[in-house]
Structures are given as structure tokens and as C-alpha cells.
Structure 1
């Protein structure tokens, strides 16, 4: 009896995920099945649309729903948490042929935004008033430094580039004191400074052959924004 019930459950699950390929269990009314199909898919689609609003608008209805349907039917999530679905969708995109050349990076950028918005990360131990040249600057737990081939912060329905720029897009994405997620473009020097994790501030600036006062001004400005929270 248990084996029969289990097989019926799997049969129903396969049908709800991919009704075009898998028939439903016998004896179930199609009207009821249609309701379940719409509720299950609609819930996942609405969740993804909320996490990837720019990607959803830029791809348009046809490409977006085709992509979500394939994710819903073929990808096996490892976590039962709804808050991890967006991360699973980005992972799914890595193993697919993209609809657009910038699709994966735009999705990753929007994932970073949503993760920082929801983050409850605790800042590491630090001295808020520490000397940023003598000590080791510490980034906030709600800040991320990222690099992309495509100008992801500009892509949208009105701007869909076909070729990547010669220079990468270097971004600082952070959550401010008002709990709003913001981004700022970084110079190559600033990007290298913020992505190095060893050595004190002075050593970092010397290694980059940068003007120390310019670099110190950058770090102090980031401390004012709450991105650099002090020193270790």
C-alpha cells in the first residue's frame, strides 16, 4: 500500500512539474489538476520575478516564462527554503545555454542585491576608529565587491548590449543605513584595494603603487558610508 501511494505521489509531482511530458495519476479530474499546476508554477514564477525584476522585464514574457518553466521542470533544488530559490535559479543558469550573453551576470547581480537586502550577517570584530593605514580595513557584512564582463547595472529593456565592453564592470554593492541596497562603480585601484585581504592599509596602497592620500581618502569615504567599518 505504501509503495502504491508513494508512486502516486511521485507521479503527481512529475506531472505538476512538467505536465507536457508526464501524465497525471489516473482518476484525477483535470479541472483540479489545472488548479494545482497554476498554483505551484505561479508561486515559483512570482518568487523569481520578485528576485529578478530587471531580468524578467528585459527578457520579456516569452523568454522569461520559457526559462522559468525549464527551471521548474528540470532543476533539483537542494534546499526547502523559499529564500534559497533565487540562488538555485542562478545556479541553474550556469548549466544552460543563455538566451542572451549577459543573462547569467545580470541574474547574479540581482541575486547579490536581494541577498544583501535580506542579509542578517554580523560584522566581524573590529575597531570602528582604527587607523586605516596602519590597520587592516574591514568591510561590512552587507557589502560586496564584484566584477562583471557586462555593464549589469545599466542593462534593461532599453539597453541590451550585444558585445561586452573592453573594460570590465567593477562594482561595490552595499546596504546603507536606511536598509536600501546601492551600488557604486569602482576604479581598478579601488577594486584591487577592496578585494585584497592580506596586509595593512599602507602595504595595500604601496603594493598598488597608488598615492597613499588618495587611497586613504577613498577608505575614509567608504567608512562614512558604512562600507568600511573600521580595522581588524
Structure 2
């Protein structure tokens, strides 16, 4: 029985190796017509999933380049997450850690793939914007503002939100591209381009959850050596309202139960 199991296990490994990389792993004792059915079935499932998750990247890639890239992932990457819906995350990890630089890949490839993955990750996140997270009527200047757990502040070297068939930059921008990507209360994933000051405010809100919005804005004014700190506070009040309108700012921290 042990020998039979060992032989079966060896055949399983040989079969799976062939499916992942048939050019380097032949299976001599099975008719190729039968193997082709499995090769196409397994590969097409993976390729269809990735094409749906990275539509812009797919559109920018020729068929030959796209399939070579996916087959490279399929052959060489060892997924850590077993769930099929996390396959795009594994593809991103492959691009960042395994494939590295490749002559067929545009310079913005990894950043664009990350941006497209973020939209998917937020859309399938189990988190909900429940009422107990924040007081929606609170004053974010006077009280600690609360950012949605479904809002991610991101910085890219390339303007990834603009990349498409008619715009494919070959060099990074002069300044970082700051974006907030979030899922709102209607479960719609949206992006908002922001400046460095808003990005800094988002970082401080996360880092100092007990501080009022006014205190955070005054800290930013000090960092900027701004001659009129109250002007920064006034501009910050408008930023808070724009963030609140997009469900990025949920309100203010509720007082702890006594």
C-alpha cells in the first residue's frame, strides 16, 4: 500500500508540474490530447481571473506579452493564499518579488497592478461602515476625526489613475501622485486625487487617533512653517468636509462608554 501511495503521489506531482509548465515537464505515458484539455482548463481559469482583476494592464498588453506574463506566474509562483479570489494578490506579489524587471514590462507595471488590485481588495473586503465606528455629526476640528477603514491613502511615482491606451508614461512624475481609494456606503469603490498636505493629514489622523483635527492641522502648519496657521486650519476644515462627503471621513471619535 505504501508503495502504491508513493507512486500515486509521484504521478500527481508530475501531472501538476506538467500543467504549470508543460514545456519543461513532459508526461510521456498520457495521451497529449487528454493532457491538453486539462492544460487549457486550468490555465484559462487563472488567466480569466487575472484579466478581470487587471483590466487596464490587460488592455495595454499585447496577447503575446500578456499570456507570457501570466504563464510565467503560473509556472514559477507558489501561492500562499488558497482562496481563488486572492489570486490577483498573488499575481501582484509575483510581479513585485519574483518577476522583477523584464523587457516586456512597462516601467509603471507594478504600480498600475497595485492600483488595480487595491480596487479589488476594497470591493471584497468584509469590513462594513457600521454606525458605531464614529459620530457622523461630530466636529472634526474640535474632536478626533475618524477615517473609514475602507479608505487607503496611497503614493505612486506614476499617475496610475490616468494610465491607459492613450497615456503610458515612460518616466516617473516630478512629484508623487497621492490618491485616496475608498469604498463608500453604497459599496462603490472610488478614487480621489489629493495633495501632499491632505496625505499628511490622513497619516496624522491614523497615527494620533486621540488628537483633534485642529491640533493636527496646527502641527502641519508648524511643519510647513506657515506664516498664518489659522489659514491652514480653515483650509483643513474644507478638506474634512470633502472627505466626509465621500465617506472617507466617517465623523468623529465617540466618547468611551462610562
Q: TM-score, normalised by structure 1?
A: 0.95
Superposition CA RMSD, Å: 1.4
Counterpart of 1:202? 214
SS of the aligned residue for 1:89 comes to helix
**1:164-211 CA distances to partner (integer Å, 9 max, x unpaired)?**
110110001112333221111101111111122213211210111161
Rounded to whole Å, the distance in 2 between the matches of 1:194 and 1:126 is 16
SS of the aligned residue for 2:251 comes to strand
SS of the aligned residue for 1:165 comes to coil
Q: Which moved more, 1:153-162 or 1:196-205?
A: 196-205
Rounded to whole Å, the distance in 2 between the matches of 1:73 and 1:134 is 55
Rounded to whole Å, the distance in 2 between the matches of 1:140 and 1:118 is 15
Stretches of 4+ moved more than 6 A in 1? none
Counterpart of 2:37? 35
Counterpart of 1:115? 121
- Does residue 215 (structure 1) correspond to residue 236 (structure 2)? The answer is yes
Query: Where does structure 1 lack aligned partners over 5 or more consecutive residues?
Result: none
> What are the residue-to-residue correspondences of 1:56-135 with 2, within 5 Å?
56-95=58-97, 96-98=100-102, 99-123=105-129, 125-135=133-143
**1:61-116 CA distances to partner (integer Å, 9 max, x unpaired)?**
12211110000000000121011111111111112214111000000000001111
> 1:141: Cα distance to partner?
2.2
Counterpart pick for 1:185 among 187, 190, 193: 193
SS of the aligned residue for 2:185 comes to coil
SS of the aligned residue for 1:221 comes to helix
**1:29-49 CA distances to partner (integer Å, 9 max, x unpaired)?**
111100100010000000000
User: Which structure has the bigger radius of gyration?
Assistant: 2
Query: Where does structure 2 lack aligned partners over 5 or more consecutive residues?
Result: 222-228, 254-258
Q: How many residues align?
A: 231
